[in-house]
Amino acid sequence: MRTNSRNFYLIPYVLWILLFVVTPLLLVLYYSFFDIEGHFTLENYREFFTPVYLKMTLSSFWYAFLITLFSLLIAYPTAYLLTKTKHKQLWLLLIILPSWINLLLKAYAFLGIFGTYGAANSFLEVMGIGSRQILFTDFSFIFVSVYIFLPFMILPIFNSLDELNPTLLDASNDLGGSSWVTFKRVIFPLTLDGVKAGCQIVFIPALSLFMLTRLIAGNRVITLGTAIEQHFLVTQDWGMGSTIAVFLIIAMVLIMVLTGRRKRGIL
């Protein structure tokens, strides 16, 4: 009787797992071994290791790294200061609110702001620097990405700072630690989990968001995600697209392991 009812819960859920989690991943792996005409081949993997794709992968990682770094540098002080405010949950909600607005609309807003006659250029004009091309540059891509990912970085850091036991800070103070030492030796190590979670949340999408590169960076920046989209929906070369997807999955798993909660694995 008991096992029966347990099986009854399991059926739809396990079906879902098999159909939409296991099968798609296996299909991506399977397709990566076929060329555009449907012949079995390892050509896709060979091609991935040619300079063209390696360079793209490297630059994709480099952009994702920069985006994560800048988000972290801006988000950490923000989260720290937020925990010091009076109605911190409300302020946090207000920081998170923009992340609920459709990402495309935010990207679209920057088409106006960074446009030739947009607000950013009028500002530069007033400052006496003069207007210049902002849209479709590396700068605009990184700026908009950081803008979009910022709330996702702030949230986990805020949570870990919020859980921090304040007596530890008093202890550090009493033992003569300067505020910098307290930060370096006490606050930062204890909030490392939040930082790791934030980096994970930002880095993986930064590798793969194709709509941002398309809208904001023109075709200047090609990330792994853009390449996958290109192969699947434009050139219809699903094999090559799947191969890149396989490497993106590998990268994702590596990042998860590196930023995983199990501290013992790394240090």
Partner 1 sequence: MKKNRKWPAVYLALIFIILYAPIFYLIFYSFNSGGTMYQFEGFTLDWYRELFADTRLLIIVLNTVIIALLSAAISTIIGVAGALAIAYARKRRVKNTLLSLNNVLIVSPDVIIGASFLILFTMIGLKLGFVSVLLAHIAFSVPIVVLMVLPKIEEMSTSMIYAAMDLGASRLDVLTKVILPYITPGIFAGFFMALTYSLDDFAVTFFVTGNGFTTLSVEIYSLARRGVSLNINALSALLFLFTIILVTGYYFITKRNEKPNGMGVRQ
Token pair 């003069």 in the structure block, residue: 130
Count of residues interacting with partner 1 (CB under 8 A): 81
Which residue from 36, 66, 69, 74 is in contact with partner 1, where contact means CB under 8 A?
74
The reply on whether position 254 binds partner 1 by CB under 8 A is no
For every residue of 95-121, DSSP letters joined together read HHGGGGS-HHHHHHHHHHHSSTTSHHH
Counting runs of H as helices and runs of E as strands, what totals does the chain give?
15, 0
Radius of gyration of the chain (CA): 23
Tell me how long the chain is. Answer: 267
Q: How far is the CB of 55 from partner 1 (least distance, A)?
A: 20
Give CA–CA dist 231/204, Å, rounded: 20
What Å distances lie between residue 34 and 4, 20, 22, 42, 240, CA to CA? 43, 22, 20, 8, 8
Residues 174-233 that bind partner 1 (CB under 8 A): 200, 204-205, 207-211, 214-215, 224-225, 228-229, 232-233
Tokens of 156: 């986990």
Per CB under 8 A, 169 contacts partner 1: no
- The window from 19-27, 45-53, 55-63, 191-199 that contacts partner 1 (CB under 8 A) reads 19-27
Smallest CA-to-CA distance from 63 within 135, 133, 145 is with 145
Which residues in 133-162 contact partner 1 (CB under 8 A)? 147, 150-151
Site for partner 1 in 33-62 (CB under 8 A): none
Q: Is 266 in the site for partner 1 (CB under 8 A)?
A: no
Is 250 a binding residue for partner 1 by CB under 8 A? The answer is: no
Is the CB of 61 or the CB of 232 nearer to partner 1? 232
Of residues 33, 31, 49, the one with CA closest to residue 41: 33
Residue closer to partner 1, measured from CB, 51 or 134? 134
Question: Which residue number, 119 or 129, has a Cβ lying nearer to partner 1?
Answer: 119
Among 103, 124, 164, 190, binds partner 1 (CB under 8 A): 103
Instruction: Write down the least CB distance from residue 47 to partner 1, Å.
Output: 18
Q: Which tokens hold the place of 257?
A: 């392991």
By C-beta, is 72 or 224 nearer to partner 1? Answer: 224
What is the DSSP-derived secondary structure letter of residue 222? -
Binders in 107-126 for partner 1, by CB under 8 A: 107-113, 115, 117-119, 122
Among 14, 129, 250, 257, binds partner 1 (CB under 8 A): 14
User: For residue 218, which phi and psi values (nearest 5 degrees)?
Assistant: 60, -135
Task: State which residue, 117 or 188, has the beta carbon closest to partner 1.
Answer: 117
Q: Burial level of 65, CB count in 10 A (0-12/13-18/19+)?
A: middle
The encoded tokens of residue 158 equal 């805020």
The answer to whether residue 17 forms part of the interface with partner 1 (CB under 8 A) is yes
